[in-house]
Chain A
Amino acid sequence: MFETLTLSTLPPEDEAIRPALRALIAEAISELPVDRRARSWQGFDASFSRKLGQAGYLGLSIPKSYGGADRSPFTRFVVVEELLSAGAPVAAHWIADRQSGPLIRHFGTEEQRQFYLPRICKGEALFCIGMSEPGSGSDLASVRTRADRQEDGSWLLNGQKIWTTNAMHSDYMIALVRTSGTSADRQQGLSQLIVDLKLPGITIRPIVDLTGDAHFAEVFFEDVRLAPDALIGAEGQGWKQVTAELAFERSGPERIYSSVVLIDAWVRHLEAVGRKDSATMRLAGSLTAQLAVLREMSLAVTARLVAGESPVVEASLMKDLGTGFEQAVPQLIGDDLAANPDEPVDAELYRTLLYVTHIAPSFSLRGGTREILRGIIARGLGLR
């Protein structure tokens, strides 16, 4: 089972982009303390995203005719690995680059592609994803936000989204909404709409999290009128489209690197204090070895994307393992540091540790909970 996941090698032309990309990243993060860099894909810096776009690092898999780089998911793997390893602030372009761009490319009309993709590739059109609602989390098919087709072909949108990452900074939301039937119809009657967040009738309220950051928001729609071409893909096919989109969301190296800035800071700390006992070596080695396997698994999933597949089960498998690792890191490093109470730990490392500790529960919530992913794997095993 899952034999298609095998070792894969990044093509040399993709490896070759690292030095120039690194220089760009170094410039952006030089002033950022480690605990800011630990925010990784929660860190928002629109000007950095535009610079990445100008330099050609966004929309990597989008054809050149739409402003993309016409390269492969392997290229994106390299770019994401470099960004996350350094702790660069990537939130501004993250969702547009990872999900919305590929979604519009696959399911959009020619007009929609021409309109959105060039700006996504330049880092100038920022997107958020409207999936969760107050009554719909893991049970996504129960969404109640409705868009009703009007006689002139336009849509009237009413309802509420919540936990929408970066809604307050975004230009557009791709929302999963009900366009026919009722919640009882489940996956039937759902569609995806592109919502211009500047339209009248939209209220966005940021939600502050336990670390003091406000990266997500609640979004209210009150009689929002959308043009006929707001529909992306086919009416009633929203569920199928979202499933394909989630395979993109779950398959990237972001599912293994969320805690890596903390690991690297801790390793530098060990070096600085000169601690080399066997328990310390075992922990450093165990984290490194686990990440080595996860990286190869992530690369293997990327290779399936390169082959044109939609590796839904494989991506779920990798994300569950990866986020479990990411969550174990702050617990283990916390224990290690506090098991040496007479060793000075600088406040920057301590803030980093506690930031990652506090935000770690989100690693296995965003993009599908652990329990949902394991259900998908169980289906892949033939159990349901």
Chain B
Amino acid sequence: MDMQELIDPFARLIEDLCTPAAVRAVEAGGDSSAMWNGFVESGFLDALVAEEAGGAGLSLADAAPLIALLGRHAVPLPVGDTMIARALLAAAGVEAPAGPIAIATGAGPAPFAAVASHILSGSPEVPVLSEARVEATGVHHDVDGYAPGLDGKALRAVAAMLRAILISGAAERVMEMTVAYANERSQFGKPIGKQQAVQQQLSVLAEQAVAARIAAAIGARSGLTPRLADAAIAKHGASLAAAQIAAIAHAVHGAIGISEEYDLQLLTRRLHGWRLADGSEGYWAGVLGGLRMDEAGKPTADFLRAA
């Protein structure tokens, strides 16, 4: 199948359902059922479910551009999480609920838990579905939340890959917004994008956005039961890029960028949340370091080729 035949309609769906105003309304605690039902009716929630179980049977690598679109538009509901949850549940022979499913993999806040009806824990092979009993983080307009008492450690790798793809989608949009702003905003009689100091910053932003996308792709290539090294490389790279991208974007935008009414914050708050979720760059560096030291006699280049 030509993936573009799926990507274009999905992009239009998200643009219709998740306008910046609709995203803000959900973040503010408004009713999200209309937005969610739009995703349910689209059929995309079963994109990763095997064909014999009634899904589209896409691989994670195939679906990565769809998931990146969710990041790009700061979709405030666990659409990507639910796609993965539904695929794992179907494979385990468990019927999925109609509502949004968040994935909880540790004691910290789980992305989108505050707007989920169910929480997935357990492991890829034995997924455990629970009704959402979530504690708010208290962070302004946060859709993430604590889901205490669940053990989802074994889902951390797949969730980390998902988060890396979401980061790469948001990063792309942040780069485009920031470049456009630098070309529009004029100071000292010319667009600030003509200033070398600003150009250098934007070049670093672009490098990091590409690095995040490549890192996410490394993760996606190993599928729904990822190899640990791939997940580690993906989430480490995306998280490392996320913080830098958000910082440069805000620096270039100036004060308007941290205002509520400007859309940049919808994306940069996600970047920071996803960076921390399911293990930061430091966590995954530790995991990969352990794997690397298990093969200390091997040159790094050989380790990478085997990875």
Partners in one complex: yes
Counting CB contacts under 8 A, is B196 at the interface?
Answer: yes
Say whether B94 faces chain A, with CB atoms less than 8 Å apart: no
Inside 8 A of B240's CB, which chain A residues have their CB? 290
- Known pairs A257-B301, A260-B299, A383-B202; A297 contacts B218 (CB<8 A): no
- Once A85-B300, A292-B304, A375-B196 are accepted as A-B contacts, the answer to whether A383 and B179 lie under 8 Å apart by CB is yes
Q: Which of A257, A280, A290 has the most CB of B within 10 A?
A: A290
Q: Which residues of A have CB within 8 Å of B282?
A: 282, 286
Which of B203, B302, B304 has the most chain A CB atoms inside 10 A of its CB? B203
Cβ of B264 under 8 Å from chain A? no
Q: Contacts of B200 on A, CB cut-off 8 Å?
A: 371, 374, 378
**In contact, A284 and B299 (Cβ under 8 angstroms):** no
Question: Of the 9-residue stretches A88-96, A268-276, A344-352, A355-363, which lies at the interface with chain B?
Answer: A268-276
A-B contact count (CB 8 A): 163
Are A285 and B284 interface neighbours, CB within 8 A?
yes
| Pair B285/A321 contact, Cβ less than 8 Å | no
B235-263 toward A: CB 8 Å interface, digit per residue (1/0)? 01100100000000000000000000000
Chain B neighbourhood of A30, CB < 8 A:
none
B85 within 8 Å of A by Cβ? Answer: no
Q: Name, among A260, A317, A373, A384, the residue most crowded by chain B CB atoms within 10 Å (CB to CB).
A: A317
Q: Which residues of B contact A270 (CB under 8 A)?
A: 293, 296
Q: In terms of DSSP, what is the predominant structure of the interface of chain B?
A: helix
Residue of A nearest to B282 (CB): A282
- Report yes or no: A292 in contact with B233, Cβ–Cβ below 8 A: yes
Name, among B179, B182, B193, B200, the residue most crowded by chain A CB atoms within 10 Å (CB to CB). B200
Residue numbers in B under 8 Å from A278 (CB-CB): 286
Chain B residues positioned under 8 Å from A257 (CB to CB): 301
Contact indicator B286/A281 (Cβ below 8 Å): yes
For residue B215, CB closer than 8 A to chain A, the reply is yes
Number of interface residues of A (CB under 8 A): 51
Interface-side segment among A1-9, A64-72, A168-176, A234-242: A1-9
**Contact yes or no, A7 B203, CB < 8 A:** no
CB neighbours (8 Å) of A382 from chain B are 179, 183
- Whose C-beta in chain B lies nearest to the C-beta of A286? B285
Residues A290 and B292 in contact in the complex (CB < 8 Å), given A268-B297, A285-B284, A378-B203: no
Interface-lining segment among B125-133, B134-142, B205-213: B205-213
Name the residue of chain A whose CB is nearest to the CB of B210: A2
Among residues of A, the one whose C-beta sits closest to the C-beta of B200 is A374
Contact assessment for B214 and A300 in the assembled complex, using a CB-CB cutoff below 8 Å: yes
A384 and B183 CA atoms in complex are apart in Å by: 9
Distance from B249 Cβ to chain A, minimum over Cβ atoms (Å): 13
Chain A contact surface mostly: helix
Chain A hits for B291, CB < 8 A: 285
B300 contact from A5, A267, A375, Cβ within 8 A: A267
Question: B169-199 interface mask toward A, CB cutoff 8 Å, 1 = contact, 0 = none?
Answer: 0001001100100110000000001101011
Interchain CA distance A268-B303 in the complex, whole Å: 13
With CB as the reference atom, state the residue of chain B lying closest to A380: B206
- Establish whether residues B214 and A296, one from each chain, have CB atoms under 8 Å apart when the complex forms: yes
Determine the chain A residues whose CB is within 8 A of the CB of B299 once the complex forms.
Answer: 85-86, 260, 264
A-chain residues with CB within 8 Å of residue B284 when the two chains form the complex: 285, 289
B287 within 8 A of A: yes
Contact present for B300 and A263 (CB under 8 Å): yes
Q: How far is the CA of A361 from the CA of B307 in the complex (A)?
A: 30
Residue B281 at the A interface, CB < 8 A? yes
| A305 in the interface (beta carbon within 8 A) | no
Chain B: which residue is nearest A294 at the CB level? B211
CB of A381 within 8 Å of the partner chain: yes
Residue B267 at the A interface, CB < 8 A? Answer: no
B172, B196, B207, B290 — which one has the most chain A CB atoms within 10 A of its CB? B207
> Which residues does chain A contribute within 8 Å of B96, judged by CB atoms?
none
A-B contact pairs, 12 of them (CB 8 A): A282-B285, A284-B289, A284-B293, A290-B237, A293-B218, A296-B214, A317-B210, A377-B207, A378-B193, A378-B202, A378-B203, A383-B183
